[in-house]
Structure 1
Amino acid sequence: MTPPSAITPESGPVEPPLRLGLLVGDGIGHEIVPDTRRVVDTAVEAVGRDPITWMELPIGFDAIDSHGTPIPDETLTALEGLDGWVLGPHDSAAYPAAFRGDLTPGGVIRKRFGLFANIRPARAHAGVQATVSDMDLVIVRENTEGFYADRNMHIGSGEFMPTPDVAMAVAVFTRAACERIAHTACRLAAARRGRVTVVHKTNVLALTTGLFLEAVTDVARGYPGVHVDSEHVDAMAAHLVRRGGDFDVVVTENMFGDILSDLAGELSGSLGMAPSLNASASQAMAQAAHGAAPDIAGRNRANPTAMMLSAAMLLDWLSDRRGDALLARAAERIRRAVADTLAAGVATADLGGLASTAEFTETVGARILRR
């Protein structure tokens, strides 16, 4: 990373201090999260804003070793007093057996803080081979209900077994939650290309996804500049492959959104490039869409793009909430630097390149300093 003496700050007003949580997580999180912090610090300093105060908090395997649990109470308590946080990937499938039936650390945080909106952009970049070369969409995923049994019950899981040979799950849809995510999607579309596509399965799940479709359509009438259409989820998967560039903002329930956003990430180049923001009206968490990739952890081969772009999304969210234009400028510098780095052919192994994690980060950091 270029030393601070090489930075010529942009002029701007003095803004209040910003305190962010840093949760490294498992696997490649130990590489991509610290590198993302360095990139964010470089961008914030480059635009002339006071440095961010980071609070590193235990989570995942590190927390099991130090606190006997992957998500300590002290971590959750500390998050309450912060402006936002960056969460690395977790490898909960590999946790000791005592924790495998529990909510994942990310799931606990989302539920604790009511992070109802999961915003997942998918965009093709110059220099990266993509199945859908003109893709530039955002999937808005309702993050608290739907067909995720670990999130839709007040206490415990929505899965149950009346006999050892029968397993069942409950899906929950409420009009309030559907309307809340509809407003998020419509506001986002109004700032983009003005189109919302509602994804559902009303031909089979008429009551549950039917309520979702009805609620989103009703809310959208209050946004006269936004055009709304709808697709069944199976058809939508095919459309993303065949004509993913036609879509702008896609809004859907929890599980459909998880599946479609992973598909869109791969179609636009790689899941390693897929950023994600989890947000409520008052708090937000940057979290890349991919996993902990334990097979390459510690080998300096991980792609930090998704984590960096997720952090840029957090800076944008904080900019809107706090009225802090410098944070938006810092976010734009990160996005532009990542795009320019990829366009120049600097890429990690998952994209067919030869750059290490450290080399990619160094290049992004240097490009952030260019006006």
Structure 2
Amino acid sequence: MSSLRLLCLPGDGIGPEIAGATLRVLAAAAPRLGRSLEVETAEIGFAALAAAGTTIPEAVLARARAADGVILGPVSHNDYPPVAEGGRNPSGVLRRELALFANIRPARTYPGLASPTGRRFDLVIARENLEGFYADRNMAAGGGEFMPEPGIALAMRKITEAGSRRIAEAAFRLAAGRQARRVTAIHKANVMRLSDGLFLEVVREVAARHPEIACEELLVDAAAAHLVREPERFDVLLCTNMFGDILSDLAAELAGGLGLAGSLNHGETNAVAQAQHGSAPGIAGQDRANPVSLILSAAMLLRHLGEAPAAAAIEASVARALAAPESRTGDLGGPLGTAGFTDLLCQLIPEAPQ
């Protein structure tokens, strides 16, 4: 069997620290892989801007296309110069160029780790990744936001049958592999009758082909309320782009924080593991960053690539480490820094059940 070829793009701020931690964890889990592991690294973000005049060089994009999977560290894209001066958002560029239409974001509570609601839950959000209101993703050229005259700003939202069908099929496939086997389609069709109406029409079509999966429809405002009150009622939430972005952050915070939230972007042929949080430049280089989000994202990537045993070993070791206060990072009230927590995970992974 050919080797598993991954490309690591460390990014900005705490990105290099948590990317380094993630690569150490992958090395510890490598004996559980069904093939040998090859990892290459390339610069993006400010490092690439200084060296190549752009935050994501075309050569890096080509390497990302050719890799089996990509590990993407957080980037400080809000601080980049204008696009004309090389300041492209690597995350958005990768999503568009690799056609990563699905953003899968689990949120689950961990034994021994308190959550704001005091309730236990395990859900996953399937978010459409290439359409919606986000200006950098819904136009072939130009922007989805524009200002025809001072004091007037307009935004366009794009929802397509094809895009809705792809993410709906992905959500139902996810649900088929879970215990509850339930999909909740999130919408605002009572107001956005055409765009969310089209989304729901396609979801109903897909649901009819999967009668073994329960399917319900819920307004996004009601979904937010239910997430806070009874998050355990949800299994797979199927969302358009902006609604999925917002609700996934809410769900992650209810589960213990964005530092614990994995995220996988995938298309038909490519996949990118990406921490759900930002680059936190204020703590960069201080051994204070919690690497769990990117580590769990990498585990999701392994599972997506058919390496479930290695993914399960990483996930079990993270859960074991989070169970005790003395084995957590500082943001969770523990004494460990980035390196110390990574050391612990690398010790636990070989002990994880086969």
| TM-score interval, smaller chain | over 0.9
CA RMSD of aligned residues (A): 1.4
**CA contact under 8 A between 1:274 and 1:288: conserved in structure 2?**
yes
**CA contact under 8 A between 1:26 and 1:90: conserved in structure 2?**
yes
Q: Which residue of 2 aligns with 1:153?
A: 139
Q: Which residue of 2 aligns with 1:348?
A: 329
Q: Which residue of 2 aligns with 1:315?
A: 302
The SS at the match of 1:295 is: helix
Paired amino acid for 1:313 = M
The SS at the match of 1:147 is: coil
Paired amino acid for 2:65 = E
Q: 1:48 to 1:158 in 2, by over 3 A?
A: closer
1:365 maps to which of 335, 346, 351: 346
In structure 1, C-alpha distance between the alignment counterparts of 2:216 and 2:243, rounded to whole Å: 17
- Please give the TM-score of this superposition, normalised by the length of structure 2: 0.96
Q: Which residue of 2 aligns with 1:331?
A: 311
In structure 2, C-alpha distance between the alignment counterparts of 1:102 and 1:147, rounded to whole Å: 21
Asked if 1:287 is matched to 2:310, the reply is no
2:204 maps to which of 205, 210, 217: 217
Q: Which residue of 2 aligns with 1:123?
A: 108
In structure 2, C-alpha distance between the alignment counterparts of 1:238 and 1:360, rounded to whole Å: 35
Deviation at 1:349, TM superposition (A): 1.7
Q: Which residue of 1 aligns with 2:77?
A: 92
**CA contact under 8 A between 2:103 and 2:263: conserved in structure 1?**
yes
Paired amino acid for 1:130 = S
Asked if 1:68 is matched to 2:48, the reply is no
Q: 1:90 to 1:42 in 2, by over 3 A?
A: same
Q: Which residue of 2 aligns with 1:263?
A: 250
Asked if 1:135 is matched to 2:115, the reply is no
In structure 1, C-alpha distance between the alignment counterparts of 2:271 and 2:245, rounded to whole Å: 18
Paired amino acid for 1:144 = L
Give the alignment of 1:232-247 within 5 angstroms: 232-247=219-234
Asked if 1:35 is matched to 2:16, the reply is no
Deviation at 1:122, TM superposition (A): 0.2
Deviation at 1:153, TM superposition (A): 0.4
Q: Which residue of 2 aligns with 1:323?
A: none
Q: C-alpha offsets along residues 223-245 of structure 1, whole Å, 9 cap, x if unaligned?
A: 12100001111111111000011
Paired amino acid for 1:63 = A
Bigger CA drift: 156-165 or 327-336? 156-165
Q: C-alpha offsets along residues 216-272 of structure 1, whole Å, 9 cap, x if unaligned?
A: 121011112100001111111111000011100000100110000001000000111
- Please give the TM-score of this superposition, normalised by the length of structure 1: 0.91
Question: Could you tell me the percent identity over the aligned residues?
Answer: 50
1:144 maps to which of 130, 137, 142: 130
The SS at the match of 1:285 is: strand
**CA contact under 8 A between 2:80 and 2:87: conserved in structure 1?**
no
In structure 2, C-alpha distance between the alignment counterparts of 1:113 and 1:150, rounded to whole Å: 14
In structure 2, C-alpha distance between the alignment counterparts of 1:358 and 1:261, rounded to whole Å: 28
Structure 1 residue runs of 5 or longer lacking an equivalent are 1-14, 320-326
Q: Which residue of 2 aligns with 1:8?
A: none
1:104 maps to which of 58, 79, 89: 89
Q: Which residue of 2 aligns with 1:24?
A: 10
Q: 1:104 to 1:58 in 2, by over 3 A?
A: same
The SS at the match of 1:369 is: helix
Structure 2 residue runs of 5 or longer lacking an equivalent are none
Deviation at 1:48, TM superposition (A): 6.0
The SS at the match of 1:22 is: strand
The SS at the match of 2:256 is: coil
Q: Which residue of 2 aligns with 1:82?
A: 67
Bigger CA drift: 97-106 or 219-228? 97-106
**CA contact under 8 A between 1:93 and 1:100: conserved in structure 2?**
no
Deviation at 1:127, TM superposition (A): 2.4
In structure 2, C-alpha distance between the alignment counterparts of 1:170 and 1:83, rounded to whole Å: 34
Deviation at 1:73, TM superposition (A): 0.9
In structure 1, C-alpha distance between the alignment counterparts of 2:330 and 2:82, rounded to whole Å: 33
Q: Which residue of 2 aligns with 1:12?
A: none
